[in-house]
Structure 1
Amino acid sequence: MSIGRTIRIYLDDGSISGIRHAEIVNWTGQAISAPRTQVKSLSDWEESKKPGVYFLFGVDETSGNSAVYIGEAENVLDRLQSHVATKDFWNEVVLFTNKDENLTKSHVKYLESRLVQFAKSAERYVVLNGNEPQQPVLPRGDRDAMEEFLSNIRVLLGVIGHKALESLAQHEVPKSLENQAHEESALASNNSNFSLKVKGISAKAVLTDEGIVVLSGSMVADKIRDSLSTGYQKLRAELIDSGAVVKGSDGILRFTRDRLFTSPSQAAAIIAGYAINGRHHWQTESGKTLKAVEESEATSI
């Protein structure tokens, strides 16, 4: 069973775009979010001068996509001040430290290494870390404590507005988040898994709270029809240009990674190459359409 959490967020100047302090009730960790323009103001926050990990969020200059750099430091504020001078891409920092003095250099290096792994696995942001940080060996008790710390970082980071650690679909879960995600995925019935089969094209997807996630390996029609809207044609071309959809040696276009779509019809149209009602064509393993699943769930409330 999923466990609820109570989260407190303090707005330093009353603005949602300024410095924010976030914490989970009964957890010793804490998060501070600040725009780049207010990093100097963090000198008034003792919480920022402790050992911890941090996320720099911005835009990748090469691809134009959202990007993140993940780091660690014994004094996070000192490190951030150096990044203001040396890294141009970012416009927001989110840092995590502990309210007590129990986070050591080894602990934060462990957290950094695991967080980079999670962010790369999630594939939501371009991860700008050149190399994957080496993971130190911790005593079993310390390692388990850091895994719990990571789980809470994931929650607070998402609440602050960045889903950099969230897998698009629960079929792939970063190892250190397995314990927490296990309960979440166990709650999802087979009605969350769908397939689409049209004119020799086969695709699989998972329905999530964010939309529908087409899974890596799903096929895409080679040609499009006039009924495919201009917007969908443009999105399809972007998927191919970015390498999210690639033609294999067998001449078939396939998704190379999981891809989130805002609606079932958008996903179905991109895959089929023409206008199509996704709620009628995405089906469960038992052959139940997405429309029928939604109607069934609505009547059971």
Structure 2
Amino acid sequence: MNKSKNFNLFLMDGQVTGRIKCTLSNWTGLAYKIPRAYLEKCKERQDLKQSGVYFLFGKNDNDEVEVYIGQAGIRKNGEGVLFRVLEHLKDATYFTEAVMLTTQNNSFGPTEISYLENKFTNMAIETDRYKLRNSKTPTLAT
């Protein structure tokens, strides 16, 4: 059975150090990698106003690489995952880039994003590649 995949990386700013949008053939999901300094440039992206899961990558004061994993639903003001990530800009400058997962058709509901947040958090704990910045493990959606 053929397990090959075709994915597209769109360099939104024309450079690999800028914003990157990733799509996978036959998948409604979208992945974005956005440096902290470029987050404000994404406010008009409608797909980032949807529900999603996000990762904030950076280093702590001990120079250890770390990640914060979170989720965001659509809020009453019509904002979603990007708005939630922008709220983290008020925090200390621990993260240098964000990765956000959402969908092309806004198909993530509360159960899906809770499940994904829990799954990704447990995967981060198991692999022990990054120090997990989350103070508690999210509950598994039922």
TM-score normalised over the length of structure 1:
0.44
Give the distance between the partners of 2:107 and 2:86, measured in 1 at CA.
24
Could you tell me which residue of structure 2 aligns to residue 68 of structure 1? Answer: 67
1:105 to 110, 118, 129: 110
Could you tell me which residue of structure 2 aligns to residue 136 of structure 1? Answer: 141
Greater percentage in helix: 1
Give the distance between the partners of 1:42 and 1:32, measured in 2 at CA.
10
Could you tell me which residue of structure 2 aligns to residue 90 of structure 1? Answer: 95
Give the distance between the partners of 2:30 and 2:61, measured in 1 at CA.
30
Change (3 A) 1:2 1:131: farther
Could you tell me which residue of structure 2 aligns to residue 17 of structure 1? Answer: 17
Deviation at 1:60, TM superposition (A): 2.2
Measured on the aligned residues, the alpha-carbon RMSD in Å equals 1.2
SS at 2:135's partner residue? coil
SS at 1:40's partner residue? helix
Could you tell me which residue of structure 2 aligns to residue 225 of structure 1? Answer: none
Greater percentage in strand: 2
**Which of the pair has more CA radius of gyration?**
1
Could you tell me which residue of structure 2 aligns to residue 28 of structure 1? Answer: 28
Residue 59 of structure 1 aligns with an amino acid whose one-letter code is: K
Give the distance between the partners of 1:101 and 1:13, measured in 2 at CA.
25
Give the distance between the partners of 1:33 and 1:120, measured in 2 at CA.
21
CA deviations 1:49-71 (Å, max 9, x no partner) are 11000000001223x22111100
CA deviations 1:213-240 (Å, max 9, x no partner) are xxxxxxxxxxxxxxxxxxxxxxxxxxxx
Give the distance between the partners of 1:124 and 1:78, measured in 2 at CA.
27
5+ residue gaps, structure 1, are 138-301
5+ residue gaps, structure 2, are 74-79
**Where in structure 1 do 4 or more consecutive aligned residues deviate above 2 Å?**
none
Give the distance between the partners of 1:82 and 1:101, measured in 2 at CA.
21
Deviation at 1:101, TM superposition (A): 2.4
Deviation at 1:87, TM superposition (A): 3.9
State the percentage of identical aligned residues. 29
> In the TM superposition, what are the counterparts of 1:1-301 in structure 2 within 5 Å?
3-62=3-62, 64-74=63-73, 75-137=80-142
TM-score normalised over the length of structure 2:
0.91
Aligned pair count reads 136
